[in-house]
Structure 1
Amino acid sequence: MSTINHIATPHHSEVPTAEGLRIGIAVSEWNSNITEPLLDGAKSVLRARGAEEITIFRVPGAFELVNASARLRAQGVDAVIAIGCVVRGDTAHFDYICQGVTSGISSLNAQLVRVEGKEDRYVPVIFGVLTTENMAQAEERAGGRLGNKGAEAAETALKMCRPICIIEK
Protein backbone atom coordinates (compact mmCIF):
# COMPACT_ATOMS: atom_id res chain seq x y z
CA MET A 1 0.00 0.00 0.00
CA SER A 2 1.34 3.41 -0.86
CA THR A 3 1.97 5.89 1.93
CA ILE A 4 -0.70 8.27 0.70
CA ASN A 5 -3.30 5.47 0.67
CA HIS A 6 -2.15 4.27 4.08
CA ILE A 7 -2.56 7.61 5.81
CA ALA A 8 -5.97 8.12 4.18
CA THR A 9 -7.37 4.72 5.31
CA PRO A 10 -9.33 4.87 8.57
CA HIS A 11 -9.29 1.15 9.47
CA HIS A 12 -6.35 1.08 11.87
CA SER A 13 -6.61 -0.06 15.49
CA GLU A 14 -6.36 2.38 18.37
CA VAL A 15 -2.88 3.22 19.60
CA PRO A 16 -2.40 1.78 23.10
CA THR A 17 -1.19 3.74 26.09
CA ALA A 18 2.52 4.10 26.77
CA GLU A 19 1.99 4.29 30.52
CA GLY A 20 4.50 2.18 32.40
CA LEU A 21 6.56 1.41 29.30
CA ARG A 22 10.24 2.18 28.85
CA ILE A 23 10.93 3.10 25.22
CA GLY A 24 14.37 3.45 23.66
CA ILE A 25 15.02 5.46 20.54
CA ALA A 26 18.22 4.97 18.56
CA VAL A 27 18.66 7.96 16.25
CA SER A 28 21.24 8.63 13.58
CA GLU A 29 22.97 12.00 13.46
CA TRP A 30 23.58 11.61 9.70
CA ASN A 31 20.95 13.61 7.80
CA SER A 32 19.91 15.25 11.07
CA ASN A 33 17.72 17.69 9.15
CA ILE A 34 15.49 14.63 8.64
CA THR A 35 16.18 12.48 11.70
CA GLU A 36 15.52 15.25 14.23
CA PRO A 37 11.94 15.89 12.97
CA LEU A 38 11.41 12.10 12.94
CA LEU A 39 12.64 11.94 16.54
CA ASP A 40 10.37 14.84 17.51
CA GLY A 41 7.41 13.05 15.90
CA ALA A 42 8.15 9.85 17.81
CA LYS A 43 8.57 11.64 21.14
CA SER A 44 5.38 13.60 20.57
CA VAL A 45 3.31 10.43 20.11
CA LEU A 46 4.95 8.69 23.06
CA ARG A 47 4.40 11.67 25.37
CA ALA A 48 0.80 12.08 24.21
CA ARG A 49 0.19 8.40 25.04
CA GLY A 50 1.64 8.77 28.54
CA ALA A 51 5.29 7.72 28.20
CA GLU A 52 7.31 8.73 31.23
CA GLU A 53 10.67 7.22 30.29
CA ILE A 54 12.22 7.62 26.86
CA THR A 55 15.91 6.85 26.40
CA ILE A 56 17.59 8.50 23.40
CA PHE A 57 20.76 6.88 22.03
CA ARG A 58 22.44 9.00 19.34
CA VAL A 59 24.77 7.34 16.84
CA PRO A 60 26.84 8.72 13.93
CA GLY A 61 25.03 6.98 11.07
CA ALA A 62 22.32 4.52 10.11
CA PHE A 63 24.65 1.51 10.17
CA GLU A 64 25.24 2.02 13.90
CA LEU A 65 21.52 1.84 14.67
CA VAL A 66 21.71 -1.96 14.95
CA ASN A 67 24.34 -1.83 17.69
CA ALA A 68 22.51 0.94 19.54
CA SER A 69 19.23 -0.98 19.30
CA ALA A 70 20.86 -4.12 20.72
CA ARG A 71 22.33 -2.11 23.59
CA LEU A 72 18.98 -0.47 24.38
CA ARG A 73 17.29 -3.88 24.42
CA ALA A 74 19.95 -5.14 26.87
CA GLN A 75 19.09 -2.20 29.16
CA GLY A 76 15.58 -3.59 29.55
CA VAL A 77 13.47 -1.24 27.44
CA ASP A 78 10.09 -2.51 26.27
CA ALA A 79 10.63 -1.43 22.66
CA VAL A 80 13.22 0.29 20.50
CA ILE A 81 12.57 2.69 17.65
CA ALA A 82 15.47 2.93 15.20
CA ILE A 83 15.40 6.27 13.38
CA GLY A 84 17.63 7.06 10.45
CA CYS A 85 17.71 8.38 6.91
CA VAL A 86 19.72 7.00 4.00
CA VAL A 87 19.51 8.89 0.71
CA ARG A 88 20.72 7.27 -2.50
CA GLY A 89 23.93 8.74 -3.85
CA ASP A 90 26.25 8.01 -6.76
CA THR A 91 27.83 4.86 -5.30
CA ALA A 92 26.71 1.45 -4.01
CA HIS A 93 27.13 2.69 -0.41
CA PHE A 94 23.34 3.22 -0.17
CA ASP A 95 22.68 -0.44 -0.98
CA TYR A 96 25.20 -1.76 1.53
CA ILE A 97 23.97 0.45 4.36
CA CYS A 98 20.29 -0.26 3.69
CA GLN A 99 20.92 -4.00 3.48
CA GLY A 100 23.00 -4.06 6.67
CA VAL A 101 20.54 -2.01 8.73
CA THR A 102 17.52 -3.93 7.48
CA SER A 103 19.15 -7.30 8.11
CA GLY A 104 20.44 -6.27 11.53
CA ILE A 105 17.12 -4.91 12.77
CA SER A 106 15.28 -7.91 11.37
CA SER A 107 17.67 -10.23 13.21
CA LEU A 108 17.17 -8.37 16.50
CA ASN A 109 13.41 -8.81 16.23
CA ALA A 110 13.80 -12.60 16.12
CA GLN A 111 16.11 -12.83 19.17
CA LEU A 112 15.09 -13.31 22.78
CA VAL A 113 16.43 -10.70 25.16
CA ARG A 114 17.89 -11.68 28.52
CA VAL A 115 17.87 -8.98 31.16
CA GLU A 116 18.93 -9.81 34.69
CA GLY A 117 15.93 -10.07 36.98
CA LYS A 118 13.43 -10.31 34.13
CA GLU A 119 11.92 -13.11 32.12
CA ASP A 120 13.43 -13.69 28.66
CA ARG A 121 11.28 -11.93 26.07
CA TYR A 122 11.14 -10.57 22.57
CA VAL A 123 11.64 -6.82 22.42
CA PRO A 124 10.36 -5.17 19.24
CA VAL A 125 12.78 -3.03 17.27
CA ILE A 126 10.82 -0.74 14.97
CA PHE A 127 12.30 0.14 11.57
CA GLY A 128 12.02 3.92 11.40
CA VAL A 129 14.74 4.28 8.78
CA LEU A 130 13.88 6.25 5.66
CA THR A 131 15.53 4.87 2.51
CA THR A 132 14.83 7.40 -0.21
CA GLU A 133 16.01 8.26 -3.68
CA ASN A 134 16.47 11.94 -2.84
CA MET A 135 16.22 14.47 -0.04
CA ALA A 136 12.82 15.73 -1.20
CA GLN A 137 11.31 12.27 -0.61
CA ALA A 138 12.84 12.22 2.88
CA GLU A 139 11.44 15.67 3.68
CA GLU A 140 7.95 14.54 2.59
CA ARG A 141 8.15 11.75 5.19
CA ALA A 142 9.64 13.83 8.01
CA GLY A 143 6.66 16.08 8.60
CA GLY A 144 5.86 16.96 4.99
CA ARG A 145 2.86 16.00 2.89
CA LEU A 146 3.30 12.28 3.64
CA GLY A 147 3.25 12.73 7.40
CA ASN A 148 5.90 11.92 9.95
CA LYS A 149 7.30 8.40 9.83
CA GLY A 150 8.82 8.89 13.29
CA ALA A 151 5.33 9.35 14.72
CA GLU A 152 4.16 6.26 12.84
CA ALA A 153 7.11 4.28 14.21
CA ALA A 154 6.15 5.28 17.77
CA GLU A 155 2.58 4.13 17.19
CA THR A 156 3.93 0.83 15.87
CA ALA A 157 6.16 0.43 18.94
CA LEU A 158 3.18 0.86 21.26
CA LYS A 159 1.08 -1.57 19.25
CA MET A 160 3.87 -4.13 19.42
CA CYS A 161 4.24 -3.67 23.19
CA ARG A 162 0.51 -4.11 23.72
CA PRO A 163 -0.74 -6.09 20.73
CA ILE A 164 -4.36 -6.87 20.14
CA CYS A 165 -4.70 -10.61 19.67
CA ILE A 166 -8.11 -11.94 18.67
CA ILE A 167 -8.96 -15.63 18.57
CA GLU A 168 -11.63 -16.35 16.01
CA LYS A 169 -13.56 -19.62 15.94
Structure 2
Amino acid sequence: MSGKGAPELSVRNVSDLRVAVIAAQWHEKVMDGLVEGALRALGELGIDEPTLLRVPGSFELPVAAKVLASRGYDAIVALGVVIRGGTPHFDYVCQGVTQGLTQVSVETGVPVGFGVLTCDTEEQALDRAGIEGSTEDKGHEAVTAAVATAATLRSVSEPWH
Protein backbone atom coordinates (compact mmCIF):
# COMPACT_ATOMS: atom_id res chain seq x y z
CA MET A 1 0.00 0.00 0.00
CA SER A 2 1.21 3.49 -0.79
CA GLY A 3 2.71 5.43 2.09
CA LYS A 4 3.76 2.37 4.09
CA GLY A 5 7.37 1.54 4.86
CA ALA A 6 8.88 4.97 4.19
CA PRO A 7 12.25 5.54 5.88
CA GLU A 8 12.72 8.13 8.60
CA LEU A 9 15.28 10.44 7.01
CA SER A 10 17.39 12.72 9.16
CA VAL A 11 18.80 15.61 7.17
CA ARG A 12 21.09 18.18 8.78
CA ASN A 13 23.49 20.94 7.78
CA VAL A 14 22.08 21.45 4.29
CA SER A 15 21.09 25.13 4.38
CA ASP A 16 23.85 25.96 1.88
CA LEU A 17 22.54 23.61 -0.83
CA ARG A 18 21.10 25.10 -4.01
CA VAL A 19 17.76 23.42 -4.59
CA ALA A 20 15.28 23.91 -7.41
CA VAL A 21 11.65 22.83 -7.45
CA ILE A 22 10.06 22.30 -10.86
CA ALA A 23 6.28 21.99 -10.88
CA ALA A 24 3.80 21.21 -13.62
CA GLN A 25 0.69 23.33 -13.97
CA TRP A 26 -1.98 20.69 -14.72
CA HIS A 27 -4.41 19.85 -11.88
CA GLU A 28 -4.02 23.14 -10.00
CA LYS A 29 -5.37 22.05 -6.60
CA VAL A 30 -3.12 18.99 -6.45
CA MET A 31 -0.11 20.95 -7.70
CA ASP A 32 -0.66 23.77 -5.21
CA GLY A 33 -0.56 21.19 -2.41
CA LEU A 34 2.59 19.53 -3.75
CA VAL A 35 4.38 22.87 -4.14
CA GLU A 36 3.34 24.02 -0.66
CA GLY A 37 4.60 20.76 0.84
CA ALA A 38 7.91 21.06 -1.02
CA LEU A 39 8.47 24.66 0.03
CA ARG A 40 7.54 23.84 3.62
CA ALA A 41 10.07 20.99 3.67
CA LEU A 42 12.79 23.25 2.28
CA GLY A 43 12.02 25.85 4.95
CA GLU A 44 12.26 23.20 7.67
CA LEU A 45 15.69 22.25 6.30
CA GLY A 46 16.87 25.87 6.40
CA ILE A 47 16.89 26.27 2.62
CA ASP A 48 15.28 29.68 2.46
CA GLU A 49 15.73 30.68 -1.18
CA PRO A 50 14.97 27.74 -3.45
CA THR A 51 14.28 28.31 -7.11
CA LEU A 52 10.69 27.55 -8.12
CA LEU A 53 10.07 26.98 -11.81
CA ARG A 54 6.68 26.18 -13.35
CA VAL A 55 6.37 24.22 -16.60
CA PRO A 56 3.21 23.41 -18.56
CA GLY A 57 2.91 19.72 -17.69
CA SER A 58 4.69 16.70 -16.29
CA PHE A 59 6.17 15.79 -19.67
CA GLU A 60 8.23 19.01 -19.58
CA LEU A 61 9.82 18.21 -16.19
CA PRO A 62 12.87 16.27 -17.51
CA VAL A 63 14.12 18.99 -19.85
CA ALA A 64 13.77 21.63 -17.15
CA ALA A 65 15.57 19.34 -14.69
CA LYS A 66 18.41 18.79 -17.17
CA VAL A 67 18.93 22.53 -17.66
CA LEU A 68 18.87 23.24 -13.92
CA ALA A 69 21.27 20.37 -13.22
CA SER A 70 23.70 21.91 -15.70
CA ARG A 71 23.46 25.24 -13.89
CA GLY A 72 24.93 24.06 -10.61
CA TYR A 73 21.98 23.01 -8.49
CA ASP A 74 22.76 20.46 -5.78
CA ALA A 75 19.29 18.90 -5.86
CA ILE A 76 16.17 19.19 -7.98
CA VAL A 77 12.62 18.29 -7.07
CA ALA A 78 10.18 17.44 -9.86
CA LEU A 79 6.48 17.75 -9.04
CA GLY A 80 3.63 16.73 -11.28
CA VAL A 81 0.51 14.66 -11.55
CA VAL A 82 -0.76 12.36 -14.29
CA ILE A 83 -4.25 10.91 -13.90
CA ARG A 84 -5.29 7.86 -15.89
CA GLY A 85 -7.84 8.47 -18.59
CA GLY A 86 -9.39 6.35 -21.29
CA THR A 87 -6.39 6.38 -23.66
CA PRO A 88 -2.78 5.12 -23.51
CA HIS A 89 -1.66 8.74 -22.94
CA PHE A 90 -1.22 7.99 -19.22
CA ASP A 91 1.26 5.17 -19.87
CA TYR A 92 3.33 7.14 -22.36
CA VAL A 93 3.56 10.25 -20.21
CA CYS A 94 4.35 8.35 -17.01
CA GLN A 95 7.02 6.27 -18.71
CA GLY A 96 8.60 9.26 -20.45
CA VAL A 97 8.68 11.40 -17.33
CA THR A 98 10.07 8.63 -15.14
CA GLN A 99 12.77 7.65 -17.63
CA GLY A 100 13.62 11.28 -18.37
CA LEU A 101 14.05 12.28 -14.73
CA THR A 102 16.05 9.14 -14.00
CA GLN A 103 18.31 9.86 -16.97
CA VAL A 104 18.91 13.44 -15.78
CA SER A 105 19.87 12.28 -12.32
CA VAL A 106 22.16 9.47 -13.44
CA GLU A 107 23.87 11.47 -16.22
CA THR A 108 24.45 14.63 -14.15
CA GLY A 109 24.96 13.20 -10.67
CA VAL A 110 22.35 15.64 -9.35
CA PRO A 111 19.64 14.00 -7.23
CA VAL A 112 16.14 14.48 -8.61
CA GLY A 113 13.34 14.06 -6.08
CA PHE A 114 10.46 12.26 -7.77
CA GLY A 115 7.25 13.99 -6.74
CA VAL A 116 5.22 12.99 -9.79
CA LEU A 117 1.92 11.43 -8.81
CA THR A 118 0.71 8.72 -11.18
CA CYS A 119 -2.85 8.04 -10.10
CA ASP A 120 -5.93 6.30 -11.40
CA THR A 121 -8.26 9.01 -10.05
CA GLU A 122 -8.22 12.63 -8.99
CA GLU A 123 -9.22 11.50 -5.49
CA GLN A 124 -6.01 9.45 -5.22
CA ALA A 125 -3.98 12.48 -6.28
CA LEU A 126 -5.69 14.74 -3.74
CA ASP A 127 -5.01 12.15 -1.03
CA ARG A 128 -1.27 12.41 -1.76
CA ALA A 129 -1.08 16.18 -2.33
CA GLY A 130 -0.49 17.23 1.27
CA ILE A 131 -3.63 19.34 1.46
CA GLU A 132 -6.19 19.31 4.25
CA GLY A 133 -7.62 15.80 4.48
CA SER A 134 -4.70 14.15 2.62
CA THR A 135 -3.04 11.10 4.13
CA GLU A 136 0.29 11.77 2.39
CA ASP A 137 2.45 14.78 1.49
CA LYS A 138 4.44 13.74 -1.57
CA GLY A 139 5.85 17.22 -2.21
CA HIS A 140 7.45 17.21 1.24
CA GLU A 141 8.68 13.63 0.76
CA ALA A 142 10.27 14.41 -2.63
CA VAL A 143 12.25 17.31 -1.14
CA THR A 144 13.43 15.24 1.79
CA ALA A 145 14.61 12.43 -0.50
CA ALA A 146 16.45 14.74 -2.92
CA VAL A 147 18.15 16.80 -0.22
CA ALA A 148 19.09 13.73 1.84
CA THR A 149 20.67 12.20 -1.25
CA ALA A 150 22.54 15.44 -2.05
CA ALA A 151 23.86 15.53 1.54
CA THR A 152 24.97 11.91 1.29
CA LEU A 153 26.76 12.52 -2.02
CA ARG A 154 28.45 15.62 -0.60
CA SER A 155 29.84 13.53 2.25
CA VAL A 156 31.69 11.21 -0.15
CA SER A 157 35.33 12.18 -0.52
CA GLU A 158 36.87 12.70 -3.93
CA PRO A 159 39.16 9.79 -4.81
CA TRP A 160 42.90 10.31 -4.94
CA HIS A 161 44.22 10.12 -8.47
TM-score (normalizing by structure 1): 0.84
Q: Deviations over 1:93-122 (max 9, x none)?
A: 11110010011011111113xxxxxxxxx1
Counterparts in 2 of 1:43 and 1:18: CA distance versus 1, 3 Å: farther
- Cα offset for 1:4? 3.8
Runs of 4 or more consecutive aligned structure 1 residues displaced over 4 Å after TM superposition: none
CA deviations over 1:32-81 (Å, ceiling 9, x no partner): 21111101101101111100320111100000001111111122111000
RMSD of the TM alignment (CA)?
1.8
SS in 2 for 1:5: coil
Shift of residue 128, structure 1, vs aligned partner: 0.7
Corresponding residue for 1:127?
Answer: 114
Give the conservation status (yes or no) of the 8 Å contact 2:22–2:54.
yes
The match for 1:153 among 110, 135, 142 is: 142
Q: 1:12, CA displacement in angstroms?
A: 2.0
Which of 124, 129, 137 matches 1:137? 124
Aligned residue number for residue 84 of structure 1? 80
Whether the 8 Å CA contact 1:62–1:85 is kept in 2: the answer is: yes
**Is this contact kept in 1: 2:9–2:144, CA < 8 A?**
no
The answer on whether the counterparts of 2:115 and 2:139 sit within 8 Å (CA) in structure 1 is yes
Q: Are the counterparts in 2 of residues 25 and 81 from structure 1 also a CA contact under 8 Å?
A: yes
| Corresponding residue number in structure 2 for 1:50 | 46
- Tell me, yes or no, if the aligned pair for 2:94 and 2:118 is still in contact at 8 Å: yes
Percent pairwise identity: 38
| Residues 4/77 of structure 1: CA separation in 2 closer, same or farther (3 Å cut) | closer
Pairs within 5 Å for 1:1-169? 2-6=1-5, 12-112=8-108, 122-143=109-130, 144-163=133-152
Is contact 2:21-2:78 (8 Å) kept?
A: yes
Q: Which structure: greater strand fraction?
A: 1
What TM-score, normalized by structure 2, do the two folds share? 0.88
SS of corresponding position for 1:56: strand
Structure 2: give runs of 5+ residues left out of the alignment: 156-161
Tell me how far apart the structure 2 counterparts of residues 4 and 103 of structure 1 sit (CA, whole Å).
22
- Counterpart of 1:140 in 2: which secondary structure? helix
Sort the Cα spacing of 1:150 and 1:17 in 2 relative to 1 into closer, same or farther, 3 A. farther
